[in-house]
Structure 1
Amino acid sequence: MLNGHSSVDQSINDSFQSFDSSAPLPEISKEFLKKLTESAQKIVERDGNLPLFTFINTAYKELTLNWLCNVAEFNNTLQRTIIVATSELFCRKLKSEWKEVICLSLRLGAEYEGSFEWGRQQYVNLLKIRAKIMLHLVQKKLPFVLFETDAIWLKDPTELFENRTFVDDADIIVPTKGYTHKGDTYSFDPMLVYPTKATLSLFLEMTRRLIKRKRTYDQDILEELCKNQFNGVICRQFEWNEIADGKWFKLSENERLQYKPYIVNNNYYVGVDNKIARQSINGLWFLSKMHRCVALKVRKALKKYNQTKN
């Protein structure tokens, strides 16, 4: 499969027809993949910027609306965002409020619309589907940034991403974990992905393992493949003070102000409602009770965490 990029022009579904799966995944239509490819190509050709890509189900709709409200303060972020959602209805709602954003629906069935506990089979299946979509983008030789919407962007990371593009010899760049006591250091998002031969090899292997095994997680596979430099892949990392994670929420206010991260991921916390409550308690929930964007709240938070400390 890795020889001569022979799989590049095949359907993403056909690429994995020989793999065993105890829980068959819904098909990803060629029409959807065509729209995704065209959307990403348009962003690259128009701006020369990396498309920002995320994959959500309906349970993440409020977190996604909050993220959109957050990044609307930054120039040209919404215009290069591609949201793949499992609900066509949510895509229509999103487009009515945020016309600049590309939202593509990928309907998978009602069983994929809930809020799943980490480790549930539906959750694992969504990781598999996301991996297949990412592999498709790499096969089409498109660079992109994978991100998740349960995050706060305290500064526009465009310059950070562009600087890494120019100076790094990396195939992919990911954050460093805040808690490394178990020996794991590679976090998963945001992930800068460059469509090199080594990256293609990594995503083919990641997707193969995810589909073949019932209870395997993409982050664990990434950790192993990056540490072992699988087929020569080079994985670089952002510093923790550039891309922070859930450890940031455990810091005191004074400690937080010592750092100036571009992005804070709201991880190490299970459950959508819990994530929303955590952001709200910390003044990082920007939606009204009617789920409308309150830009003033965003500006207040950005000013707080970007002020120069005397």
Structure 2
Amino acid sequence: MSRGLENPFVMMTLLNKAFLPFALSWLCNTKYMDVHKHVLFLTTDTQTDAMLRHHWPDVTSVVLHGVDSKRNESYSQVGYVKLMVKRTIAILSILEANTAVFLFEVDCLWKRNPLPFLQSQNLVDIVATKVSKEEFVVAGGFLYLFPTNSTKQLWGALTKRLLVLFDKIRFLSPETSVSEGDNDQQYLSILIGKNYVGIRYKLLFDEEFPDGSWYNLTLAERSAMNPYIINNNWLVGNYEKIERAQRWRHWFIRKDFTCDEQNIALNFQNLNSVDSIL
């Protein structure tokens, strides 16, 4: 069955106050890519939701009930895991409505719109990237989920496992550490790795969807690549991520939160060196 741009889909990402600047920059980055009408921001607090609606009134956002997180939640802590449980439940509801879900993150640069490419992968149920080259760990923040029966069954199993975990940690403080083996990313990787319900998946090439190590490559190595998305990760701290994005002209908002049209225009050029934009 052909599944493409004509079929319903939602682009979903989780957002709190700490990540709001990244969301606003990403919205400017993708301003002319005709994707905003598909975006759904799941916000964790009313202040973030209000700011988003103020600056981008045509973009859809909803506040998650039962959470109020303005902090930069840390991986493998109770607060983070609870947010992932909420997100997983929301995704299952959308899949059960026969709507595809593109789960993405906003701390990245979109060089090209990846949607036509992702939606052309119509022989699989899930399109994903790996976290590590050494082991099979699927990145929980970048997934294209086709609403097939296999995807729905797998996501239902993932949701059940996370709800069991939620019951164990529900009364713990948000800062309490959780085993690194207990989160949505690890559970999902196990299910996919075991070929649960015959799930069909495709892992994307690093050359097209590189992680933050792209910034440390040589000019020759970067010039040989034509990525869709460059992830601004493998760097600790939001301030550090913003500083790197600004240095590379990969930051698309000004201090007043309006779009930096010059940087948006530069992004459509094939600029692979800091020196070429200074």
TM range (shorter): 0.7 to 0.9
| Unaligned runs of at least 5 residues, structure 2 | 170-177, 273-278
CA contact 1:174–1:189 (8 Å) conserved in 2: no
Q: How far off its partner does 1:106 sit?
A: 2.1
Partners of 2:190 and 2:271 in 1: CA distance: 34
Q: How far off its partner does 1:185 sit?
A: 5.0
SS of residue paired to 1:223: helix
Aligned counterpart, 2:192: 226
Aligned counterpart, 1:270: 236
Partners of 2:121 and 2:71 in 1: CA distance: 36
Q: How far off its partner does 1:163 sit?
A: 1.9
Q: How far off its partner does 1:53 sit?
A: 1.2
Q: Give CA-to-partner distance per residue, 1:172-215, whole Å, 9 cap, x none.
A: 111244x412x225323431111122112211222222232353
- Matched AA of 1:294: D
2:202 counterpart of 1:236: yes
Aligned counterpart, 2:35: 77
CA RMSD in angstroms, aligned pairs only: 2.3
- Matched AA of 1:175: T
Q: Give CA-to-partner distance per residue, 1:221-252, whole Å, 9 cap, x none.
A: 22211111112111212222222212222212
2:20 counterpart of 1:66: no
CA contact 1:176–1:239 (8 Å) conserved in 2: no
Counterpart of 2:151 (choices 186, 199, 216) is 199
SS of residue paired to 1:175: strand
- Matched AA of 2:126: I
Structure with greater strand percent: 2
CA contact 1:118–1:270 (8 Å) conserved in 2: no
Sequence identity percentage: 24
Q: How far off its partner does 1:107 sit?
A: 4.2
- The TM-score with structure 2 as length reference comes to 0.83
- Matched AA of 1:137: I
Structure with greater helix percent: 1
- Matched AA of 1:276: I
- Matched AA of 1:138: L
Q: How far off its partner does 1:109 sit?
A: 4.3
CA contact 1:202–1:230 (8 Å) conserved in 2: yes
Partners of 1:276 and 1:225 in 2: CA distance: 34
- Matched AA of 1:174: A
Partners of 2:153 and 2:79 in 1: CA distance: 26
Partners of 1:281 and 1:211 in 2: CA distance: 42
- Matched AA of 1:151: C
2:72 counterpart of 1:106: no
| Unaligned runs of at least 5 residues, structure 1 | 1-43
Aligned counterpart, 2:92: 135
- The TM-score with structure 1 as length reference comes to 0.75
Q: How far off its partner does 1:114 sit?
A: 0.9
Partners of 1:287 and 1:147 in 2: CA distance: 20
Kindly report structure 1 stretches of 4+ aligned residues shifted beyond 4 Å.
none
